[in-house]
Chains A and B, each alone.
Chain A
Amino acid sequence: MILTAPLAALGRMTLALLAATGRIALFAAAIVSHIFRPPFYPREFGQALMQIGWFSLPVVGLTAVFTGGALALQIYSGGARFNAEAVVPSIVAIGMVRELGPVLGGLMVAARVASSIAAEIGTMKVTEQIDALVTLSTNPLKYLAVPRVLAATLAVPVLVAVGDAIGIAGGWMVGVQRLGFNSATYLQNTADFLEVWDVTSGQWKGAAFGFIVAVMGCYHGMNSGRGAQGVGAATKAAVVGASVLILAANYLLTEVFFSA
């Protein structure tokens, strides 16, 4: 009994995880199936686009500029061990657009957006606003989730693109001001080694991460427990779930995009 108890607990956890994965997958599929079917809610979509895209710009930009700068310093000091300091511009650019831009941008959006969506929808559930939507002949999934998921899927790639540019600019600033690179040479190296697919792969990742963030926010909000504690737990689960899924999806997409 004592020996099998941990195994039983592990089994229960695995089953619970699989069940939750199934529920989230069905929820996401239901959202996708509603995207192209009327009625459409353009006003709610526009508001979500502003909330998720425009208002996330400062946090994504700040994350990118500091990451780009730190990356330049790290690559310079690491590269110095085998006289490869010159690779700083190209590695900063590739690192930002392929990995750090989408992943850190996605994680920052997860922290900011998944939490706010889950808290907002969770509060709506607790205060019976979701029931009110149903009685007003409005499908809550269509009215609340679809605009947010669509907006996040479209906005995060744009945020990633802006973050990429700011991150590269951060690397350039440190490279020129701190590490003594020539400004024109730095920019030339960046442009020479960067390929179109490096950039577009990051955009695809951004779209996937945006989808994950909004789906997790909506799912946990709509399944929030009662009271402040329930909403708090839903918010935490949305952020943790979105962050873990972003990292897992990043690995899978990197395998798909770049494995030889």
Chain B
Amino acid sequence: MITLSGVHKSFGPNRVLRGVDLTIAKGESMVIIGGSGTGKSVLLKSVLGLVTPDAGSITLDGQDVTKGDRDAFLARFGMLFQGGALFDSLKVWENVAFRLLRGTMARPKAEAREIAIEKLRRVGLKPETADLFPAELSGGMQKRVGLARAIAASPEIIFFDEPTTGLDPIMSGVINDLIREIVVEMGATAMTITHDMSSVRAIADKVAMLHDGLIRWTGPVGEMDATPDPYVQQFIHGRATGPIAAVR
């Protein structure tokens, strides 16, 4: 279980997170929605320790994420970055098997390659893709490779940062379905940040809305449409008028 309590983070005078409280249960798929620049990525990176909160606490199964063995902590996570964040200088299979080729999870090269090809197949890519470089792939394929890398070491927790940004609606649907299938299949805890409502409906068990540095609403995805919360209603229907300023 991931628990955030009173998390604050500022960058200079810009107060991005102003006391975020959120709990994500084990095996649950939580989707955090909110407009651009509301601190969704900062929140996600705070859990991973890529950003250090100014105040508040973040725990994983009761343990403070900033303390203890960092490698062991990170070994429990997989992450799909917004732009894929694939390493340009490495072949696709080396990207997927990155964790399996180094460090405490290192395996023989042939075995790591085999696992990488299996994971690529799982995300719908042919084995021939394995020996290409990321620059030779389309945006959708790069997202799939990123997804394959995120699940390569069978993590307990997977984070998805804007998984469908920059993709056409059909490819977005494919990625959303893949994420849902994989999360269910692995029994993983998932945290996704997005402003794509089709992703929310396809991926989420629960939804949290982040606005102005605070969680404004949280609840099961089935209750999202019926909630009277004006922030959620404006956001999910994409209205220009409402409590969320259109110009931020």
Binding site for B on A (CB under 8 A): 39, 41, 47, 124, 127-129, 131-132, 134-138
Whether B45 is near chain A, meaning CB under 8 Å from some CB there, is: yes
In the complex, B91 has a CB within 8 A of chain A: no
Q: How far is the CA of A136 from the CA of B98 in the complex (A)?
A: 7
Size band of the interface chain B makes with A: 20 to 34
Instruction: From B49, B50, B85, give the contact of A127 (CB < 8 A).
Output: B85
Contact, CB under 8 Å: A138 / B103: yes
Tell whether, in the assembled complex, residue A137 and residue B87 are in contact, meaning their CB atoms are under 8 Å apart. no
**Whole-angstrom distance from the CB of A47 to the nearest CB of chain B?**
8
- Smallest CB–CB gap between B97 and chain A, Å? 10
Which chain B residue shows the least CB distance to A129?
B85
CA distance A74 to B34 in the complex (A): 70
Which residues 74-88 of B sit at the A interface, judged by CB distance below 8 A?
74-75, 77-79, 81-83, 85-88
Q: How far is the CB of B168 from chain A (nearest CB, A)?
A: 21
Q: Which of A39, A132, A138 contacts B85 (CB 8 A)?
A: A132
- Closest CB of chain A to B147's CB: distance in Å? 13
Q: Contact between B87 and A135 (Cβ–Cβ < 8 Å)?
A: no
- Given A39-B102, A39-B103, A129-B87, decide whether A134 and B82 contact each other with a Cβ distance below 8 A: no
Contacts of B105 in A (CB 8 A): 137
Contacts beyond the supplied A135-B50, A138-B98, A138-B103: 20 A-B pairs with Cβ under 8 Å: A39-B103, A41-B102, A127-B85, A128-B85, A129-B86, A129-B88, A131-B81, A131-B85, A132-B81, A132-B86, A134-B48, A134-B49, A134-B74, A135-B48, A136-B74, A137-B70, A137-B74, A137-B99, A137-B103, A138-B102
Q: Does B71 contact A (CB under 8 A)?
A: yes
